[in-house]
Structure 1
């Protein structure tokens, strides 16, 4: 496989149609609802510590990584030129970014060379979605 991309994205801006595999990270606790973490991103250690402290985190990530380590050689054997793995959360700033970084490093450690693409990290927050009066507290 000549191109392996790990990307993060915001569900509020739409799912990436080019993704071969898509994982929804909205089940993890959300740093957006912590005032001191809200302005940070999944690239910041404090956000990563908060997300990885979720009880579901370690097992979920281990299972996702095991699945990817099983599938990627199969894609290679089948001659697939490009594989794009996408991780999403509501705003594309916290959970999806952290998980994409973590998984990319795990794949590097396993001998792959993923490119990272944080599609919506630089986009301004969509406050009307993330902070509307009726919004559930699972936005990124």
Structure 2
């Protein structure tokens, strides 16, 4: 993720089934600890652009606390001596359509509310559902 003028933090989402994580200062792997909306047939074809998916992800136990921790980590990184460099945070899940992009959007909203300029990228959100 290249730095856009004025951006402090780059937040990206991705799916491990589509390749390794993008380069980042902090990568959060959401696969093993948070239930995948993909297992619910009514959510499988939807994405993080759909409110029902976002609600399912954000209502998962522990997600709110992880967002809080990621915000705290980002603010700690930004207070360090290398704060002029774009801070890159990534979140990954299996396919990159549900958990990771929802998490990335919520994280970006919180970081923006804390006064940081944030750019968001979803590497795999547009990809078809992975058949498993």
* TM-score under structure 1 length normalisation: 0.81
Q: Which residue of 1 aligns with 2:18?
A: 13
Residues of 2 paired with 1:108 and 1:24: CA distance? 22
Verify the 8 A CA contact 2:58 2:64 in the aligned structure 1: yes
- Structure 1 residues without counterparts, runs of 5 or longer: 132-140
Residues of 2 paired with 1:115 and 1:67: CA distance? 17
Q: Which residue of 2 aligns with 1:60?
A: 66
Verify the 8 A CA contact 2:16 2:95 in the aligned structure 1: yes
> Judging changes above 3 Å, is the alpha-carbon distance between structure 1 residues 17 and 119 closer, same or farther for their aligned structure 2 residues?
closer
Larger Rg: 1
1:94 to 94, 98, 119: 98
> Judging changes above 3 Å, is the alpha-carbon distance between structure 1 residues 36 and 126 closer, same or farther for their aligned structure 2 residues?
closer
Q: Deviations over 1:55-77 (max 9, x none)?
A: 22222222222122222222xx3
Residues of 2 paired with 1:71 and 1:82: CA distance? 10
Residues 70-89 of structure 1 mapped to structure 2, 5 A cutoff = 70-74=76-80, 77-89=81-93
Q: Deviations over 1:1-24 (max 9, x none)?
A: 854210000011222342221011
> Judging changes above 3 Å, is the alpha-carbon distance between structure 1 residues 81 and 67 closer, same or farther for their aligned structure 2 residues?
closer
Count of residues in Structure 1 that have an aligned counterpart in Structure 2: 126
Residues of 2 paired with 1:67 and 1:83: CA distance? 11
Superposition CA RMSD, Å: 1.7
Residues of 2 paired with 1:91 and 1:116: CA distance? 17
